[in-house]
Chain A
């Protein structure tokens, strides 16, 4: 499914190596639609009877809003079915609850955890040691990725894939820097040995980090910066997902001219006449202006996209949904992802 763009530079589509990945982090600047894409990716990966877990880590109840269901509890619940008998479960990780679970599991300190929560110590601890929160969240993610079935299919993973709606681009590298995070904490002990397992998972080809962007200056700037940071940390980058692309409509020559403010008015006029449409002078001028603005926008986006060529990461593209996003459009986007090779 890997094809080349017309200008022959960056590959478009899901590279085959990503079919091995079972843990997908989806990040992006705020407002680029990363949560929507994470949900669509989960649906796409669940197609054909697979079981996928969609995880959120920021306590926003974003998944519930997207799927239009009541706020999720801190447990895995079925949230959608995918094409061909697939299933998507959702998990909203609550930091405090995860912290208590952790204390109980690794230190046998369940009671202490509850006492800590009462006096505000959980918030205090995660503030002076911000790495603690990240260790808890990534630790929980590792647990669901590596969990195996007990009865029906022993030794088989419960989930074929896990998709994490991750912190935004500005924080993604820090979020995944488990080694740094754990250095904040008490030396030795179970947290450290568990963190080692998380580090190994994150640096393996089971993991892929995807960055959602729009073809606008700020999101692209942040995407490029995030990719540089992640590369320096040797973390596996999956793809850049360009969201809300707009079709060019105009033929390349016409597009270039229109972006300079030059539309063949006579051709448009005669075309309209052929189609039996008559416009007032004002409407006709408006139509031309709309065309010029559209071409200018497409040209500006193409220029922004140049920066993505330089970073050389596989790219996926999703269209603008002119009617807005609803539950149905999540499936639409999932289909589009599948068309570009996601599986």
Chain B
């Protein structure tokens, strides 16, 4: 309880023109997308030209940003005349990004063969790590466009925050598996007689999948591999970009044990990879606005309810008692995190009592993130 973490100054980070990329990471369901959108909006209000790459926004947030349609390209969000910067928003279309990469790396003729292959659709959507890979790829593309002062990236919803860093590599290692290489080897693969363990394995595969499917799959592997050589290099390059100066990772967490545990893993990993961590945004906290002790409030409420069961004062006291015990629990959870990560800067964002459905609500969140509540 004794450690007071340093305060995360997001206003300074978003204003600093040397910062070009902000990546929002964290476990699923902690409010990453909303946080990313709020930060992007605030940076635009600071006069910067900003694009926010969202992955899977809630319908109302998407509406607030005017990106209901899956454009896969940034669209400008209309802001008030007093805003000197620009906010652009886009929603990642994973499949389309994948298609575009195939076309880019395979040439039109071979690309058509791949895109029409029956496995392509399956692999393009079911392969673990594809979404993360495509988010990285899109980030790489946006960086290449050279027209953004700041790119704010939301990361795919996954239980593990580390997936964003690991999934692209896992995709690569799948392509490097022994079986993949076997299917590639010229004159080998399915038609050829293989013996021993490999032969046994192939027999197992063709029994379960059918021999036609297995030979189609081998054909697909061969046509896609040339493309994936490019994919792999590219994933490595984008990964390196994330280590550059000008990138800031922001870990978003809810005040829940699982989410904070994920945040802790992520913080350790960033340190290990020497990737720049701005700090932790602790989302949806419930700080009390009244110092009255929780138990005292509950006792008083009970007294009042004896004479008036619908006493508005009793209700207010009950509400406060709940909020105070929630706040206490959140402080306890946070102190566990800061005990393990004493140098990580933190800012708390109190829970909004409503869903974000317009820019005004995003501004309210941005105020909390940047500590500009007075200026609002």
Q: Which A residues fall within an 8 A CB radius of B? A: 29-32, 60, 103, 107, 109, 111-113, 115-116, 118-121, 123-125, 127-130, 132, 184-187, 189, 191, 216-218, 221, 246-247, 249-251, 254, 263-264, 267-272, 274-277, 279-280, 283-291, 293-294, 296-297, 300, 304, 322-324
Closest to B310 in A: A251
Q: Are A283 and B205 in contact (CB under 8 A)?
A: no
Which B residues are in CB contact (< 8 Å) with A103? 204, 207-208
Residues of B within 8 A of A (CB): 27-30, 58-60, 119, 122-123, 126-128, 157, 159, 174, 177-180, 182, 197-198, 200-210, 213, 217, 220, 254, 256-257, 288-292, 296-297, 300-301, 303-304, 308, 310-320, 322-323, 325-326, 329, 333, 353-355
A296 and B353 in contact (CB under 8 A), knowing A109-B203, A186-B209, A290-B288?
yes
Query: Can you name 12 A-B residue pairings with CB atoms under 8 Å?
Result: A31-B28, A109-B204, A116-B200, A119-B201, A127-B127, A185-B210, A263-B316, A271-B316, A275-B300, A276-B300, A279-B292, A286-B288
Residue of B nearest to A109 (CB): B204
- Tell which of A112, A119, A127, A323 touches B174, judged by Cβ atoms closer than 8 Å: A127
Contact, CB under 8 Å: B289 / A286 = yes
> With A and B bound together, what is the CA distance between A123 and B119 in angstroms?
15
Give the shortest distance, in Å, between B164 (CB) and chain A (any CB).
15
A112-B201 contact given A120-B179, A322-B329, CB 8 Å threshold: yes
A112 touches B200 (CB 8 A): yes
Q: How far is the CA of A123 from the CA of B353 in the complex (A)?
A: 44
A271, B353: Cβ atoms closer than 8 Å: no
List of A residues within 8 angstroms of B254 by Cβ: 31
Give the docked Cα–Cα distance between A279 and B297 (Å): 11
B208 touches A125 (CB 8 A): yes
B122-A128 in contact (CB<8A): yes
Most central of A251, A254, A293 by chain B CB within 10 Å:
A293
Given contacts A119-B198, A120-B179, A275-B303, contact A290 B316 (CB under 8 A): yes
User: How far apart sit A311 and B39, CA to CA, in the bound complex (Å)?
Assistant: 36
- Which 9 residue pairs across A and B have the least CB separation, nearest first? A271-B313, A31-B29, A286-B289, A186-B210, A112-B204, A120-B177, A286-B290, A275-B300, A296-B353
A285 contacts across to B, CB distance below 8 A: 289
Distance to closest chain B CB from A289 (angstroms): 5
- In the complex, which residues of chain B have a beta carbon less than 8 angstroms from the beta carbon of A249? 315, 318-319
CA distance A279 to B300 in the complex (A): 13
From residue B196, how far is it (CB to closest CB) to chain A in Å?
Answer: 8
Given A267-B313, A288-B316, A290-B316, 8 further pairs, Cβ under 8 A: A29-B29, A30-B159, A109-B207, A120-B174, A251-B312, A254-B312, A296-B354, A297-B353
- State in angstroms the CA–CA spacing of A272 and B320 once bound together: 13
Flag if A217 contacts B127 (CB, 8 Å): no
Looking at the assembled complex, report how far the CB atom of A104 sits from the nearest CB atom of chain B, in whole angstroms: 10
Do B318 and A300 have beta carbons less than 8 Å apart? no
Distance (Å) between the CB of B329 and the closest chain A CB? 6
Nearest chain B residue, comparing its CB with the CB of A129: B209
Contact present for B208 and A290 (CB under 8 Å) = no
Contact B315 A291 (CB under 8 A): yes
Which residue in B304, B310, B354 is a CB contact (below 8 Å) of A275?
A: B304
Task: Report the nearest A residue to B119, measured CB to CB.
Answer: A128
Instruction: Select which of A127, A270, A289 is within 8 A of B313 by beta carbon.
Output: A270
Quick one: closest A residue to B327, CB to CB?
A: A322
**In the complex the two chains form, is A218's CB within 8 Å of B58's CB?**
yes
Interchain CB contact (< 8 A) of B322 among A32, A280, A322:
A322
Given A31-B30, A275-B303, decide whether A120 and B310 contact each other with a Cβ distance below 8 A: no
Contact A221 B312 (CB under 8 A): no
Which chain B positions have C-beta within 8 A of A113? 204
A109-B207, A124-B179 given; A221·B58 CB < 8 A: yes
Cα A267 to Cα B308 in complex, Å, equals 12
Known: A283-B291, A300-B355. A275 touches B329 (CB 8 A): no
Judging by beta carbons under 8 Å apart, are A124 and B30 in contact? no
In the assembled complex, which residues on chain A have CB atoms less than 8 Å from the CB atom of B288?
A: 286, 290
Task: Verify A254–B179 contact, CB threshold 8 A.
Answer: no
Within the complex, what minimum Cβ distance (angstroms) separates B22 from chain A?
22
- A280 to B325 Cα, complex, angstroms: 21
Set of chain A residues within 8 Å of B177, measured between Cβ atoms:
119-120, 123-124
Smallest CB-CB separation from B311: which chain A residue? A271
Within the complex, the shortest CB–CB distance from A159 to chain B, in Å, comes to 28
- Which residues of A lie under 8 Å from residue B29 when comparing CB positions? 29-32
CA distance A113 to B202 in the complex (A): 10
A120 (CB) vs chain B CBs: closest residue: B177
B178 to A, closest residue via Cβ = A119
Given A31-B29, A221-B59, A322-B329: A291 and B319 within 8 A (CB)? yes
